[in-house]
């Protein structure tokens, strides 16, 4: 009975972990605005976790610089399965204007499987909420497959 | 016992939420918001200007040669690489690129973020090779396929079968030696003014200006 209760509750409240992989801070500010009272993603269950070990969804911003790459990979490997990786903005998907720079190791999909891409530079908070809702759906499917 | 603000606290319990209730209440982007790109291939002349000014390398162009000699030109806009700066739309003289207020750009596959459009370019009109300044042509044949030969005196010559009359060469010419008329489709060179610097050939998006 408790197992069912836990399953139900975790499905309704996926926790986020935010990684800044060399972002210009534009996407980070948009993500903060999603979590703060104006858009308040917490009313939909999305809560920012302080530790990657508590998280279900990883939100990556920034073009994945060479300095941040080992840290990003180590942090993502600490997130327990099933996890869902969301890229926010154009940078982690392609490198955007930083593409071809000597210090950029991205895109992120070269290193880890990415589940959801939220495009925009920076994406609107509404688009981020859409992306997180899709990530929560994918997470539910992944959890069902793991059983 | 004194309870400060208790009236305020109770009234807040019953007041309306100040959140934007987004998924339940749809919200529109602000006017002038630069969201998903809409490309109008029927207006495009494939001058390549958008590709050159794009800072994120989000625009790519592919040409497919059809059997009847015409070209099918496809422009692909990768929204996953776009900065949404709208420089491409500003530079497009034909207004074929439009930024809409649609911000729902969420995808699970990279393919979903590509905006494509293609059009068939009419075959260039065949001109007699004599029309391309035969008196100045050198014996050296570099571009035999187009029928235009570089001049001996080092001045530029335009392959007008490929020219789209974007006027970029005339704008960039430091000596103001070029006159391009878009409506009459003429490209004229003032030989006295020309200094043979090669700027026109360098900036030409179609690479149809040949230096001698």
* CATH assignment of the domain containing B56: 3.30.70.3270
Whether residues B138 and B204 share a domain: the answer is yes
Inter-residue long-range contacts of B95-99, CB under 8 Å, 24+ positions, other chains counted: B95/B40, B95/B43, B96/B39, B96/B40, B96/B41, B96/B43, B96/B44, B97/B37, B97/B38, B97/B39, B97/B40, B97/B50, B98/B37, B98/B38, B98/B39, B98/B40, B99/B33, B99/B34, B99/B35, B99/B36, B99/B37, B99/B38
Q: What's the mean pLDDT in B149-156? A: 82
pLDDT greater than 60 at residue B128: no
Inter-chain touch A126–B103, beta carbons under 8 Å: yes
pLDDT of residue B62 exceeding 70: yes
What average pLDDT does this structure show over B73-100? Answer: 91
**Mean per-residue pLDDT, A1-19:** 87
Q: Would you say residue B145 has pLDDT above 80?
A: no
Mean pLDDT for the stretch of residues B134-149? 50
Band (B144; pLDDT cuts 50, 70, 90)? very low
For chain A, list residues whose CB is within 8 angstroms of any CB belonging to chain B. 37-40, 43-44, 90, 93-97, 99, 109, 115-121, 123-127, 129-131, 133-134, 138
Domain of A82, CATH number, reads: 3.40.50.12280
Among A37, A94, A126, the residue with its CB nearest the CB of B81 is A94
CB contacts of A127 in chain B (<8 Å) are 103-106
Q: Do B108 and A96 make contact, defined as CB atoms within 8 angstroms?
A: no
Residues B105 and B130 both lie in one domain: no
Q: How many domains does chain A have?
A: 1
**Residues of B whose CB is below 8 A from A96:** 56, 81-83
Give A96→chain B minimum CA distance, Å.
5
**C-alpha B10: how far from its chain's center?**
59
Report pLDDT digits (tens) over A45-104: 899 999 999 999 999 999 999 999 999 999 999 999 889 999 999 999 998 899 889 999
User: Which of B22, B55, B78, B113 is the best residue to mutate to test the A interface, defined by the most A CB atoms within 10 Å of its own CB?
Assistant: B22
DSSP string, chain B: ---TTHHHHHHHHTSPP-S--TTTS--PPPTT---SEEE-TTT-----HHHHH-TT--EEEEEEE-TTS-EEEEEEEETTS-----HHHHH-TT--EEE-S----EESSGGGGEEEEEEEEPPPPP--GGGS-GGGB-S--S-TTTT---BTTS--EE-TTT-----HHHHH-TT--EEEETTTTEEEE-TTT-----HHHHH-TT--EE--
**What average pLDDT is seen over chain B?**
82
Same domain, B92 and B59: yes
- Closest residue in chain A to residue B59, using alpha carbons only: A96
Q: For A115-139, what is the mean pLDDT?
A: 92
Interface contact B80-A94, CB threshold 8 A: yes
Q: Are residues B33 and B116 in the same domain?
A: yes
pLDDT at B126: 59
End position of a domain, from candidates B91, B121, B151? B121
What is the CA angle B183-B186-B188, rounded to 5?
Answer: 140
User: Which residues of chain B have a CB within 8 Å of the CB of A129?
Assistant: 22-23
Name the domain count of chain B.
2
Which residue did the predictor score with more confidence, A24 or A1?
A24
Enumerate chain B positions whose Cβ falls within 8 A of a Cβ in A: 18-20, 22-23, 27, 29, 33, 35, 55-58, 78-84, 103-108, 110, 113
The interface predicted TM-score of the complex, written ipTM, equals 0.86
* Shortest Cα distance, chain A CAs vs residue B95, angstroms: 22
Residue A25 lies in a domain: yes
Query: Considering the domain boundaries, does residue A3 fall inside one?
Result: no
Assess whether B168 and B182 both reside in one domain: yes
pLDDT score, position B127: 55
Which residues of B fall within a CB distance of 8 Å from A43? 19
Q: Which of B105, B109, B113, B115 should be substituted to probe chain A, the one whose Cβ sees the most A Cβ atoms within 10 Å?
A: B105
Rounded distance, CA B76 to CA A135, Å?
27
Which of B42-81 are b and which e, b meaning 16 or more Cβ less than 10 Å from the residue's Cβ?
eebbbbbbbbeebebbbbeeeeeeeeeeeeebebebbbbb
Residue B3 placed within a domain: no
- pLDDT score of A20 more than 90: yes
**pLDDT at site A2:** 85
Is B18 a member of any domain? no
Q: Which of B68, B103, B121 is the last residue of a domain?
A: B121
Q: Is the distance from CB of B35 to CB of B103 less than 8 angstroms?
A: yes
Closest Cα in chain B to A89: B80
Give the residue from chain A lying closest to B114, CA to CA: A119
Q: Which of B106-110, B125-129, B134-138, B172-176 has the least mean pLDDT?
A: B134-138
**Would you say residue B5 lies in a domain?**
no
Is pLDDT of B136 > 50? no
What's the domain range around B164? Answer: 125-212
Contacts of B108 (CB under 8 A, 6+ apart): A115, A116, A117, A134, A138
> What residues of chain A lie within 8 A of the CB of B113, using their CB?
93, 117, 119
Of A40, A117, A130, the CB nearest to B104: A130
Give the structural domain span for A20. 15-146
Last residue of a domain, one of B121, B141, B163: B121
In this structure, is residue B15 part of a structural domain?
no
Name the residue facing A38 among B20, B56, B103 (closest C-beta): B20
pLDDT of B131 over the 80 cut = no
Indicate if B115 and B57 belong to the same structural domain: yes
Could you give the percent of chain A with pLDDT greater than 70?
Answer: 100
Q: Is A10 domain-assigned?
A: no
**Sorting pLDDT into bands at 50, 70 and 90, what band is B48?**
confident
């Amino acid at each position: 009975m408790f197992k069912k209760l836990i399953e139900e509750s975790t499905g309704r409240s996926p926790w986020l972990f935010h990684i800044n992989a060399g972002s210009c801070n534009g996407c980070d500010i948009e993500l903060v605005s999603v979590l703060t009272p104006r858009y308040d993603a917490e009313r939909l269950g999305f809560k920012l976790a302080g530790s990657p070990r508590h998280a279900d969804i990883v939100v990556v911003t920034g073009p994945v610089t060479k300095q941040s790459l080992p840290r990003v990979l180590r942090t993502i490997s600490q997130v327990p399965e099933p996890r869902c990786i969301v890229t926010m903005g154009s940078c982690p998907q392609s490198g955007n204007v930083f593409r071809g720079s000597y210090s950029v190791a991205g895109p992120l999909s070269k290193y880890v499987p990415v589940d959801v891409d939220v495009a925009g530079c920076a994406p609107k908070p509404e688009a981020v909420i859409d992306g997180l809702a899709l990530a929560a759906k994918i997470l539910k499917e992944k959890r069902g497959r793991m059983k | 016992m004194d309870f400060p603000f208790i009236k305020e606290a109770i009234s807040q319990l019953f007041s309306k939420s100040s959140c934007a209730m987004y998924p339940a209440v749809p919200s529109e982007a602000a006017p002038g918001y630069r969201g998903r790109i809409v490309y109008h291939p029927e207006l495009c002349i494939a001058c390549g200007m958008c590709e050159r000014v794009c800072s994120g390398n989000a625009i790519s162009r592919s040409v497919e040669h059809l059997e009847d000699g015409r070209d099918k030109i496809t422009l692909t806009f990768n929204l996953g690489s776009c900065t949404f700066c709208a420089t491409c739309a500003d530079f497009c003289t034909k207004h074929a690129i439009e930024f809409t207020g649609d911000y729902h750009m969420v995808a699970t596959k990279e393919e979903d973020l590509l905006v494509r459009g293609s059009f068939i370019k009419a075959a260039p009109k065949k001109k007699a090779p004599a029309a391309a300044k035969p008196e100045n042509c050198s014996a050296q044949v570099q571009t035999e396929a187009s029928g235009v030969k570089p001049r001996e005196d080092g001045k530029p010559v335009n392959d007008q079968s490929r020219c789209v009359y974007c006027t970029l060469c005339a704008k960039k010419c430091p000596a103001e030696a070029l006159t391009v008329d878009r409506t009459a489709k003429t490209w004229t060179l003032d030989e006295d003014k020309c200094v043979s610097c090669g700027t026109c050939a360098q900036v030409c998006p179609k690479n149809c200006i040949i230096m001698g």
